[in-house]
Amino acid sequence: MKLTPLYSHGVAAGFPSPADDHREDSLSLDQHLITRPAATFMARANGDSMQGLGIFDRDLLIVDRSLEPAQGDVVVVALDGQLACKVLDRYRGRLLSANDRYPPIPIREGQELVLEGVVKASIRYHRSC
């Protein structure tokens, strides 16, 4: 596993100075983002329904199946066989988007709902790879 330098100073929309030797430690993104490898998968976000929470089209989602979903968690679900990334509203029995253009999705009795996992993090690419 490759460790990447982690600087102790924040970077204000720029690069650290080459003279900055205040490295805090090294950081493994695997260790930082994936605490339970056997229960974790990644998926790409599709569409703009979660933009209000900073999840954009083609962002990479880190999804943990071992986490118990709580009210307000961002989750990946299969609803009647269709995968979706939404906010869980357990109190009202529905799934919410983070974009006002998309109405809440009620979870109706008889629908097949499979919770695939809780979105632990997302990664946005600022330059196409």
In the chain, which ranges are continuous DSSP H helix?
A: 29-33
Q: Specify whether 17 is catalytic.
A: no
Q: Specify whether 49 is catalytic.
A: yes
Distances (CA, A) of 106 to 71, 88, 89, 95, 102: 15, 11, 9, 6, 12
Q: Considering 17, 26, 49, 122, which one is annotated as catalytic?
A: 49
Q: Considering 2, 26, 66, 86, which one is annotated as catalytic?
A: 86
Q: What positions carry a catalytic annotation? A: 49, 86
